[in-house]
Amino acid sequence: MADSQDAVPEVPLALVSNQYYETKIAQMRNRPVPWEGYQRANLITSEQLDLIQRIDNKSPQVIKELADERGDTYANLYLQILDTLNRPDTIQHVLLLIEDFLTDHEENVQYFHHASGNKPTYPYGPLFNELKYAHPPFFFSSNRHLRVNDDIVPLQASKILTIFASSAPSPSMVDLSPYFNWIATQVQSEDLRIVDLAVQELESILRVREYRLPFWETPKAAESLIHVLRRTSPGPQMQYQVIFCIWLLTFDAQIASTINRQYDIIPLLIDIAKSALKEKVIRVVIASFRNLVEKQPESNLAAMLVAKLLPFTENLSTRKWSDNDIVEDIDYLKAELEENFHSLSTFEEYSSEVETGKLTWSPPHKSEVFWKENAQRLNEQDYRLLRILARLLSTSQSPLVLSVAAHDIGQYVKYSNKDAKKIVQEIGAKQRIMELMTHEDQDVRYQALSAVQKYMTNAWEF
């Protein structure tokens, strides 16, 4: 999986399905729809009724012939009916007609894109509008097809939206925010069958580079996707699908620069790869790491070294692999990590460790020379590292992390400038360290007491 947009595999547009979905579709295929009644009520015209009767419940061959003959007409018809009719069973059936129209004939999607010439909101408008309220797990949009009181309708609508968006002539002009918000909600579902469908849709949609950053910037979207990997047992196939999405996202340099800082993705993926039984899971993890290094080495290499990726790649390089791509990616990562291992400064190592939140008694923490040289650097970027340490003191349940964080703040106070005590108090660290003096763990108590003593030195205001 080399670094090239051309390396992103073509994902069939209609590759969104599982047994749950197919069972639902099969159950609704033979339900009658009162088309004649709609015509008598002037909800559809006699011409529209004739068009529907020609194609409804017909063989794939007949559907293909009608699409070839009157593709634009049928695309407009389906979109108009979705705009007009409200009954859930009718909406289901029209969405099924659209799906049948596109199945095995992805080229027919062009007719739906042509419809934008008749109405600017087509082809997306009938499937979603501006979001106004949420009604989980499916009913998330003001548009009835993403909120109607039937769980199959939003799944049908989102699948069709995936096909439309994946084939858009000008993806940069398509606003998929309602769709991405809906996806972000579905990947939080307790029903893994629904999560599976939503992730499949992302596998298709994220292959289009223009959609990656909008998805990333959707509130809770990336967080919810990555959280799937932290569930108790997502299974190897689900792991692969989610990490495949992460791999696609990391082709974007902006995402590659922040994904680990925001979601601690590097140690998570290493842990998954270490326990993976399927080669394809390891392959997509390593491919994701390669993207991170190629796109944003300065943001990721130090974190990879802190997370002990180098010895892991050394181990992987001794194994037999069926795929040459994984061998190439492992060798690339191993070479980059070895080169940077020797040039990584002690402070970069320390900074990466703090950012992960997984503090240990690594050499920088106990080195007086390190603190004399680097304590002032905790003031950089509006005290970013110092604030992380303060947050760990308040949120971590690990005695080891609490001990190291308390120790480091004490060293900062000891070796930084005269404003250090004031800053520590302003960010809430002083009060928390004092509370830790009564912690149940002996080392936490000791490090907290030691930090307080450093604070009190020549600090009568304490």
Long-range contacts of 113-118 (CB under 8 A, 24+ apart): 113/164, 113/167, 113/168, 113/169, 114/72, 114/75, 115/72, 115/75, 115/76, 115/79, 118/76
Residue 132 has what pLDDT? 29
Instruction: Work out the percent of the chain whose per-residue pLDDT is above 70.
Output: 90
Residue 234 has what pLDDT? 86
Grade residue 130 by pLDDT with cuts at 50, 70 and 90: very low
Which residues touch 304 (CB under 8 Å, ≥6 apart)?
266, 289, 292, 293, 310, 337
Share the mean pLDDT of the chain: 88
Residue 123 has what pLDDT? 93
Q: Which two tokens stand for residue 442?
A: 């002996």
The model's pLDDT over 100-109, given as tens digits with 9 standing for 90+, comes to 999 888 899 9
Residue 436's nearest CA partner among 447, 426, 425 is 447
The model's pLDDT over 192-248, given as tens digits with 9 standing for 90+, comes to 999 999 999 999 999 999 999 999 999 999 999 999 999 867 899 999 999 999 999
Grade residue 145 by pLDDT with cuts at 50, 70 and 90: low
Which whole-number Å values give the CA distances from 286 to 225, 260, 272, 312, 384, in the listed order? 19, 15, 11, 11, 29
Residue 31 has what pLDDT? 82
Residue 447 has what pLDDT? 95
Q: Which two tokens stand for residue 292?
A: 């991170």
Q: Which helix (H) or strand (E) holds 353?
A: helix 346-356
Alpha carbons 184 and 191: distance in angstroms, whole number: 14
pLDDT at 124 over 80: yes
**421 vs 131, residue with greater confidence:** 421
**294 vs 31, residue with greater confidence:** 294
Alpha carbons 179 and 128: distance in angstroms, whole number: 7
The model's pLDDT over 22-65, given as tens digits with 9 standing for 90+, comes to 998 988 887 888 899 989 988 899 999 999 999 998 999 999 99
Q: Which helix (H) or strand (E) holds 129?
A: none
Residue 302 has what pLDDT? 86
Rounded to 5 degrees, what angle do the CA atoms 285, 287, 291 make?
Answer: 115
Average pLDDT of the residues in 399-419? 93
Contact 247, 284 (CB under 8 A): yes
Length of the chain: 462
Q: Which helix (H) or strand (E) holds 42?
A: none
The SS3 assignment for 135 reads strand
Alpha carbons 306 and 268: distance in angstroms, whole number: 13
DSSP 410-452: HHHHHHS-TTHHHHHHHTTHHHHHHHHTT-SSHHHHHHHHHHH
Q: Per residue, what are the HEC states of 211-271?
A: HHHHHHCCCCHHHHHHHHHCCCCCCHHHHHHHHHHHHHHCCCHHHHHHHHHHHCHHHHHHH
Side chain identity, residue 117:
G
Instruction: Work out the percent of the chain whose per-residue pLDDT is above 90.
Output: 67
Beta-sheet strands, E only, within 275-383: none
